[in-house]
Amino acid sequence: MMNQEEWLKEFERLNGRPATQAEFESVWGPQAPVAPAQVSPQVSPANGAQPYPQTVGQAPFSNIPQSAPKKSHKGLIAGVIALLVLVVGVVGFFIWNQQRNDIHGTWKADAATIKSFNDQAYVGNYFGSALKDTTVSIDVASDNTYTITAVFHIDFDKWAEEKAADSDYLDKEDYLEQVKYGADSNYMKVDLEKGTAVITAKGTVRPEKHELTSPQSNPSSASEGDPVTYTIENGQLRFKVSSDVELVFTK
């Protein structure tokens, strides 16, 4: 606990002037001795200084107001940012989910659908080990027309050599000529240089009914096939082209 002299010095340091007699007595009592030079009789508490009265048992200056700590806005800012991230994430997921369940756009076949194309087109059996890989996709345009495209990547030289090795009459060139003969058919387009055989089929979509017309491989066909019902769930497009063949595509 500070003495009177220390109190007077601290008061003058804080207020920029000596304490008045009244300010001194409000803390130390009217009977407390004090050196006249340390007390200013002209300045009263009305001039802006606080006498800081103390209660019994309080140390001098114990009730001097302290500056309130500044509130930090970091927590509020972090909360706002977290909320914005959450909102953006929810909206983004909603848009993404809507897009992947929209029939329009490009869909890629899964492994089972690719195998089905290989089997149904007899490509797998016909070209055997010369068939390197297959890609199948369906593109649905904004005008509700769709095109299914199957691209078979084939090593035609290998295939022709294997076929010629098992034949007593035809050689490799003969088998390559057979492939070229079918290159301009409506069913399959063959490019020996690229090593591809491409099958395309077209149809229309009826989104309001969730229907597809059966794909037609002959572009000159005037009639559309019977419609098939498709479903889209969890980003998967599914429809059957026959009772036992279901095609599955994902975006």
Contacts of 154 (CB under 8 A, 6+ apart): 123, 127, 130, 131, 132, 195, 196, 197
pTM exceeds 0.75, yes or no:
no
Q: Amino acid letter at 186? A: N
Give every CB contact of residue 208 below 8 A, 6+ residues apart in sequence. none
The candidate with the shortest Cα–Cα distance to 103, out of 242, 244, 238, 247, is 238
Residue 9 has a pLDDT of 87
Query: Tokens for 235?
Result: 């980003």
Q: Rounded CA gap, 57 and 66, in Å?
A: 20
- For residue 89, what are the contacts with CB-CB under 8 A and spacing of at least 6? none
pLDDT tens, 55-111?
Answer: 434 444 444 444 445 555 566 676 667 766 656 655 554 444 445 568 999 999 999
Q: Assign residue 147 a region: left if phi > 0, alpha if psi is -120 to 50, beta otherwise?
A: beta
- pLDDT for the residue numbered 54: 45
DSSP 186: S
CA distance 123 to 114: 11
- Maximum distance among all Cα pairs of the chain, rounded to whole angstroms: 138
pLDDT in tens, the chain (251 residues): 678 888 888 888 888 888 888 888 877 777 666 554 555 554 444 444 444 444 434 444 444 444 445 555 566 676 667 766 656 655 554 444 445 568 999 999 999 999 888 887 677 778 888 999 999 999 999 999 999 899 999 999 999 999 999 998 999 999 998 887 766 665 678 888 899 988 888 889 998 888 988 666 554 444 456 788 899 988 899 988 777 788 899 98
